Amino acid sequence: MSESFDAIILGGGAAGLFCAALAGQRGRTMLVLEKAEKVGKKVLISGGGRCNFTNIGAGPANYLSANPHYAKSALSRYTPRHFLDLVEKHDIAWHEKTLGQLFCDGSSRQVVDMLLEECATGPGKVTIRCNEEVSRVSREGESFTVTTQYGQFTAPRLVIATGGPSIPKMGATDFAYTLARQFGLKIVEPRPALVPLTLGGEEVLFRELSGVSADVEASANKTTFREAALFTHRGMSGPSILQVSSYWKHGDPVMIRFMPDKPAGWLLEAKHTTPSARLRAILREALPDRLADVLTDQIGIDSDLGNAPDKTLRAAEERLANWRFNPNGTEGFAKAEVTAGGISTAELSSKTMEAKKVPGLYAIGEAVDVTGWLGGYNFQWAWASAHAAAQSL
């Protein structure tokens, strides 16, 4: 015997729980099937345990997708302000950390509890079952049947909310893609995003700077972010590098502007004001000593600035403003905060997230080819896409 529901949601993460809650509030009977022993595991560890639950400035420009227009509809109908109102309704204290990023003052647990309370609001009913590994999904007529190790469940609507394969150690899977392919939906090649980059070859010397960070402008593929970069024992990380990693492809350089506040001509100016100073000392004023030393050694100016030709100093300044790194890879899905790519938006309605050629099948959250920047944007997509689908369940 199979149990019947108005809709079944596969995956009890950010998007799945929120979608279940909103559809439940519209009177639907909902089933959430979660493979892990508990729901919302990524929410719990997010934002260093304080969940960066949205970004107040989130808009379509903060997302990557093969179709940059796709996310507009959902994002405009469920905004960061809407989610913030919900957070405030639940008396969750929050603060803006930087760049519009909103975090809980307390713990990410509060966001999961809020989602669960919203699921319990009714008037519909949301049933959540954990430890349910989906082994089969089939469609007969207008009904989907989901088989797990514990039973069979049927519904006329099925929502794929199983996220992406980033951090497999936490149980993340590529199940969304397997299921989408089963129903003939195309996938945009998934790749690790918001991920540290690795350095090899002649650039291994920068790995010796492990732990050193500096405020920089980092660019890849014509996209620039100004935030900290951090050298690691494998290469580069830190917010600016994670951000550009989403735009980086194998073979691309990553350009770094060190000391981004220095005006053009600053090194020649330094030559005139402090001719007896050495480049190493000048760089040490603005950068961590170890980084200043490596950059000075690479540039190779040993003399006082006063004895260095203007041309040499201009070239040094240019190099510091456009330092070319050639990453040889990323740290992969094991370390990627999100997955870029996923179920092609060409297959889905931007209004409802429903598959155009499979009525009743929906996909939301990270499973879809919409990927946010670092800073609360990915959760905002989870909330907004869940909201869009819930209106049509």
Ligand X SMILES: Cc1cc2nc3c(=O)[nH]c(=O)nc-3n(C[C@H](O)[C@H](O)[C@H](O)COP(=O)(O)OP(=O)(O)OC[C@H]3O[C@@H](n4cnc5c(N)ncnc54)[C@H](O)[C@@H]3O)c2cc1C
Site residues for ligand X per CB under 6 A: 10-16, 33-36, 41-42, 45-47, 51-52, 134, 161-163, 166-167, 171-173, 175, 337-338, 365-367, 376-379, 382
Question: Can you read off the two tokens belonging to residue 142?
Answer: 């207008």
In our burial notation (b when 16+ CB lie closer than 10 A, e otherwise), range 333-349 reads: bebbbbbbbbbbbebbb
Strand partners, 349: none
The first and second tokens of residue 159, run together, are 């929502």
Cβ proximity to ligand X, 130 vs 205, nearer residue:
130
Q: Give the nearest distance from C-beta 233 to ligand X in angstroms.
A: 19
Q: Which is nearer to ligand X, 157 or 271 (CB)?
A: 157
Residue 296 or 378: the one with the smaller Cβ distance to ligand X is 378
Residue whose CB is less far from ligand X, 317 or 369:
369
Sign of torsion, CA 219 223 228 231?
A: negative
Residue labelled with tokens 């509060």 = 110
- Which lies closer to ligand X via its Cβ, residue 52 or residue 213? 52
Pick between residue 291 and residue 336 the one whose CB is nearest to ligand X: 336
- On whether the CB atoms of residues 165 and 215 are closer than 8 A, the answer is no
3-state helix, strand, coil in the chain (%, to 5): 35, 25, 35
CA distances from 308 to 68, 262, 315, 323 (A): 48, 20, 11, 20
Chain-centre distance of CA 336, in angstroms? 8
Q: How far is the CB of 347 from ligand X (least distance, A)?
A: 17
Query: To the nearest whole angstrom, how small is the minimum distance from the Cβ of residue 316 to ligand X?
Result: 38
Shortest distance, position 385 Cβ to ligand X, whole Å:
8
Q: Both tokens of residue 264?
A: 């053009």
Give least dist CB 193 to ligand X, A. 10
**CA dihedral over 284, 289, 290, 293, signed as positive or negative:** positive
Nearer to ligand X, 153 or 379 (CB): 379
Q: Quick check: 32 and 124 in contact, CB under 8 A? A: no
| Minimum distance of ligand X from residue 267's CB (angstroms) | 39
Nearest-CB residue to ligand X?
A: 13
Which pair of tokens denotes residue 304? 């006082």
Minimum Å gap between C-beta 192 and ligand X is 11
Residue among 97 and 207 whose Cβ is closer to ligand X: 97
Written as six digits, the tokens of 169 are 């150690």
Q: Where would I find the beta strands (DSSP E) of 156-207?
A: 157-160, 187-193, 197-198
| CA 338 – CA 336 distance, rounded (Å) | 5
CB of 135 to ligand X, least distance (A): 9
